Amino acid sequence: MTTVFVSGATGYIAQHVVKELVANGYQVVGSVRSAEKGDKLKKLVGSNFSYEIVKDIQIEGAFNEALKRHPEVTVFLHTASPFHFKTTEPEKDLLIPAVNGTKNALSAVHKFAPQVKNVVITSSYAAIAPASKEVDNTATISETTWNDVTWEDATKDPVTGYRGSKTFAEKAAWEFVEVEKPNFILSTVNPVFVFGPQAFDSEVKDTLNTSAEIINALLKLSPDDEIPFFRGAYVDVRDVAKAHLTAFENKGAENSRLLLADGRFVTQNIVDILLENFSQLRGKIPIGEPGRGSDVESKLAKIDNEKTKKLLGFELIDLKKTVLDTVQQVLDVKGTI
Ligand code: NAP
């Protein structure tokens, strides 16, 4: 049985990755920040999951002991990284933990787990898309493009800080491979905004993880509120989990970046889906301007991820299903809004 190490196993995406791995016959060792978090996840996942405590990925040597204890690990998935915008110090809270966390993970694998054949890093569309190109409808963004953000600009605000943290962490990973020539093969998974239900109903809290909260926050609005404006691209978390397996199982994905995106959205598209499908939300949340988001694709850069879609070999979940499943779970768990 192959054993896979998943860093940041308690995260929104990572819990789905762990579930998918176990469903496909893998044994999983997850890193978590405390025994309490590890025990809780173990109860949910079952006997094919065990955990190691890694309190802070940015501390030098963070993963060394965990890997020394698991010589059976042959695949390492690095998902842990801060994803939030709640900081006035992006360099300290986002950039440094992301970059040093990635370097620590890779050097631990290199030094203490030479038997590991594949490393997959959960990078992001943030590392792929330059901010200026995102709103240029003549531009094409693909697996080969890079965010051109500078470290200095990334220290200035939390959104640029997060985008920079993913860019510099991924660059550090490819550089590590080039310089150190480790035994493992690297690939990255680069999702756009990830939506979809929590892996376990018990994870449905008042405030969800940063990306799912974009949808959850709409349920907290009053009819006269402005709809917060988000535009971007989406992919479902269940597809992101499956892609982490493709990234190390499919030879064609070796040394590649998998750009995960199904399509574009603005918040109005999500509101329209909610009001068409949940009668209990009518009169409770704002309607905005129904249909106004229909031309979003034509206003933003084209995302070309045909290469990734071929490697995945499965159909991606569409906006309607990802939104409906996210909200249905919240309504089921909370009973009402
Ligand atoms: P999440 O739920 O916040 O998960 C992040 C995980 O990383 C948590 O387990 C967290 O542990 C852990 N972590 C963060 N900083 C850490 C540190 N300094 N030391 C140890 N552990 C740390 O976020 P997510 O959405 O699942 O994101 C997972 C990965 O996907 C991240 O690399 C993120 O950049 C990437 N990504 C996410 C999206 C998206 O839309 N969700 C899109 C593209 C890429 P605690 O919870 O215990 O703090």
> Is the distance from the beta carbon of residue 97 to the nearest atom of ligand 1 less than 6 Å?
yes
pLDDT of residue 127: 98
pLDDT at residue 53 is higher than 90: yes
pLDDT at residue 96 is higher than 90: yes
CATH architecture of 3-195+236-261+307-314: 3-Layer(aba) Sandwich (3.40)
pLDDT of residue 308: 98
Q: How many CB atoms lie within 10 A of CB 71?
A: 12
The predicted-structure confidence for 151-168, as pLDDT tens digits, reads as follows 999 999 999 999 999 999
- Mean pLDDT throughout 24-35? 98
- Mean pLDDT throughout 205-223? 97
**Which residues, in sequence order, are CB contacts of 259 under 8 Å at separation 6+?**
125, 128, 141, 142, 143, 190, 303, 305, 307, 308
Q: Which of 5, 6, 7, 12 to mutate to test the pocket of ligand 1 (most atoms within 8 A of CB)?
A: 12
Q: Which atom of ligand 1 is nearest to the CA of 8?
A: 9
Average pLDDT, the chain: 97
pLDDT band at 295 (very low <50, low <70, confident <90, very high): confident
pLDDT band at 297 (very low <50, low <70, confident <90, very high): confident
- Mean pLDDT throughout 50-71? 98
pLDDT of residue 193: 98
Tell me how far apart the alpha carbons of residues 217 and 228 are, in angstroms, rounded to a whole number: 9
In this structure, which amino acid lies at residue 27?
A: Q
Residue nearest to atom 29 of ligand 1 (CA): 79
pLDDT of residue 62: 98
> Is the distance from the beta carbon of residue 12 to the nearest atom of ligand 1 less than 6 Å?
yes
pLDDT band at 254 (very low <50, low <70, confident <90, very high): very high
- Mean pLDDT throughout 248-270? 97
Q: Which of 28, 33, 198 to mutate to test the pocket of ligand 1 (most atoms within 8 A of CB)?
A: 33
pLDDT of residue 128: 98
CA of 7 to the centre of ligand 1 (A): 9
- Mean pLDDT throughout 279-304? 93
pLDDT at residue 177 is higher than 90: yes
Angle at 247 between CA 314 and CA 185, to 5 degrees: 160
